[in-house]
Chain A
Amino acid sequence: MNVIAQDTTNQERLITVILFAVLIAVTLGVTVWASRQTKSATDFHSGGRGFTGIQNGFAIGGDYMSAASFLGIAGTIALFGYDGFLYSIGFLVAWLVALLLVAELLRNSGRFTMADVVSYRMRQRPVRTAASVSTLTVSIFYLLAQMVGAGALVALLLGIEEGETYLGMSADVAKIVGIVVVGILMVTYVSFGGMTGTTWVQIIKAVMLMGGALLVSLLVLSMYDFNFGSLMNDAAASSAAGDAFLEPGQRYGVEVAGDAWQTMVNKLDLISLGLALVLGTAGLPHILIRFYTVPDSKTARKSVNWAIGIIGTFYLLTLILGFGAAAVVGHEAITEQNTAGNTAAPQLAQAVGDHFGGDFWGAVMLAFIAAVAFATILSTVAGLTIASSSSLAHDFYNSVLRKGQASEQEEVRVARFAAIGVGAISIVLAVFAQNLNVAFLVALAFAIAASANLPTILLSLFWKRFNTRGAVWGIYAGLISSVGLVFFSPVVSGKGVDAAGNNLSLFPENVDFSWFPLENPGLVSIPVGLLFAIIGTLSSNESDPQRFAKLQVRALTGAGAERATTH
């Protein structure tokens, strides 16, 4: 069996590099076209609101299914079996919150950002500042995790080993080049193509991702005569865990023999993670702004239905990919490549290519899946960048600094520069963090979204009494408690080293200032966010029943909702 890093030939790398180049060329072409469509603020922030339900459904899928879900979940299933699947289910069920409670009402009542809805009946500046801070924190944490991952991935996908060079790059240089290239591309898509460009990049990615996952899944299944049961048995047999591979408890909620405290902590951590995943999705700023890209709330509903279908199908396919990688590639070959299993899916693609068409097709499949992974990273980081730049320009610059007096042209100009600023900061942070363990940032982003954003959005739509202080306290309490608890948790310091001697925390292994036992703060921070929103509200006399009435009427009927622009 070929293992990428060990016998990656220059021919294989060449195919990978060519596919990457084609992808970059196509997406830049789309960006140039999109930049000509982008004139007004509505064009920049919301792509003119002219996307169809199917288009937006694919774009949501493209935005949402990050490299962490594609490579991460497939890898977790390959190494830990059932628990990777458990993780993916939280990501899917969460879409019902978006469908039933958020998408349509947000589309009807807001313009460009989440803060439009939350600040609707409140004092603009404090609420928009809070919402903007929360949006930026969530987006930049998420961005950082993606970009550090991107650097490592580019090095891995090119198969550059320690002490080896390709095109004059060592593995370390390739990591930095990967981060910088991804950063420059995302800034280009966003600042030139705006939401139209970003959306098409996401659609292209979603189609590639679904196509790639479907192809590899079918090929794997056909190796087992389409008998999923025997694939599962093979996966369990070749894993280290045996039958337990097919049961929960290998990765999350792990039972530690003889340590009742740690066992309890692990189980609470699983519940905490589950809560953050299911409640966080509908509070992620880059997801929320996608609901503004369609003409009306009915189309927003349709697009979420499409997204649920696409995302659900994809996670079912990752089950096949993950078990397939465990069965066909094998535990050892996967961990040899990457201890977290991030290369399980590309390795599987290469293996099935080899099986059906020989070495050359193995290389082609590997390159194709590598390009899919690259597209996956690009489209998610572009979505995060536009969410940050829209919030900076629309909420912070225009509403807070300029008190709503900035012209559309000015707001768009600021948004373009904000994208460059966010990109530059993320590149620098990612380069510094490239060798740190930052995978926890994705779960943290979901926890902040669930604690700070979702409660304030729902309360502002449904609780008449809700007011400025409630919104501001709710957002800051949710944000500070999630970030603070994670800071004092084992993911930041004091988790120690794994069997191979790798540091498991962010800080060096000899530093330990942790006192909060859970790695996922949601179990505490979600109630804290909600509680402060309620206490803040009740401690202030401010209330505007007429604006609330208008907000609710608008959210439910769509009267006065923003319309699509026509070119």
Chain B
Amino acid sequence: MTTTHSVPEGSDPPPQGGGGNPPSESELEARSAALHDDPRFKELRSRLLRFVVPASVAFLAWYLLYVLMSAYAGGVMSTEVVGSANVALFFGLAQFVTTFGIAVLYSRYTNRRFDPLADELREELEGAAAVPGARKGEDA
């Protein structure tokens, strides 16, 4: 998904500062900018996009198909399936099921694959200035 090499664009000055204090705003900014090129951050972003992009395309297409069929495929939609319950009703209910389903899948996925790495990077960024978080960003 990501290319294996990455040349940091202009390196930012490494964070400096004392003791166990949380980083200052400008230091956080410098660290964040440096982390942006860190392979771990790229991994984090690609983990998010790996779920979010296909899922969004899928549910938007699925919804659009439903709207288009409601507009143009009256014959199919009015076919009765069970008693007077027709395809349109089941297709509509299926939209509820997929919406709930994608929400559950997304939450599970992020809990497992996204949150731990995001937490790790955040703690590193917000940690005492001694942790050279921003400098770990070496070429993978």
Chain A contacts to B: CB under 8 angstroms: 82, 85-86, 89-90, 92-93, 95-97, 99-101, 229, 232-233, 236, 243-244, 246-249, 252-253, 255, 267, 270-271, 274, 278, 298, 301-302, 304-305, 308-309, 312, 315-316, 545-546, 549-550, 552-554, 556-560
Contacts and interface: CB of A to CB of B under 8 A. Distances in A.
Contacts of B68: 271
Contacts of B66: 89
Interface residues of B, number: 55
Contacts of A552: 36, 45
B71 A549 contact: no
Interface of A is mostly: helix
Given A89-B92, A92-B99, A93-B99, A249 B74 contact: yes
Nearest to A552: B36
Interface string B99-116: 110111011001000010
Contact of A556 (B9, B12, B83, B118): B118
Contacts, number: 155
Instruction: Across the A-B interface, give the 8 residue pairs with the lowest CB-CB distance, nearest first.
Output: A549-B36, A559-B125, A248-B70, A274-B67, A553-B32, A550-B32, A253-B71, A267-B71
A263 to B, nearest CB: 10
5 contacts: A93-B95, A100-B52, A247-B77, A305-B103, A556-B44
B14 to A, nearest CB: 15
B107 A545 contact: no
Contact of B88 (A82, A252, A267, A546): A82
Contact of A100 (B9, B55, B82, B104): B55
B125 A546 contact: no
Interface of B is mostly: helix
Given A236-B84, A248-B88, A270-B67, 16 more contacts: A89-B92, A93-B95, A93-B99, A96-B55, A100-B55, A101-B52, A229-B83, A229-B85, A246-B86, A248-B74, A248-B77, A271-B71, A546-B29, A546-B33, A550-B29, A556-B48
Given A100-B106, A560-B125, A243 B78 contact: yes
B28 interface: yes
Indicate the member of A90, A232, A546 with the most B CB atoms within 10 Å: A546
Interface in B93-140: 95-96, 99-100, 102-104, 106-107, 110, 115, 118, 121-122, 125-126
Contacts of B83: 229, 233
Contact of B67 (A85, A271, A557): A271
Contacts of A90: 63, 67
A308 B103 CA distance: 8
Nearest to B49: A462
A102 B15 CA distance: 30
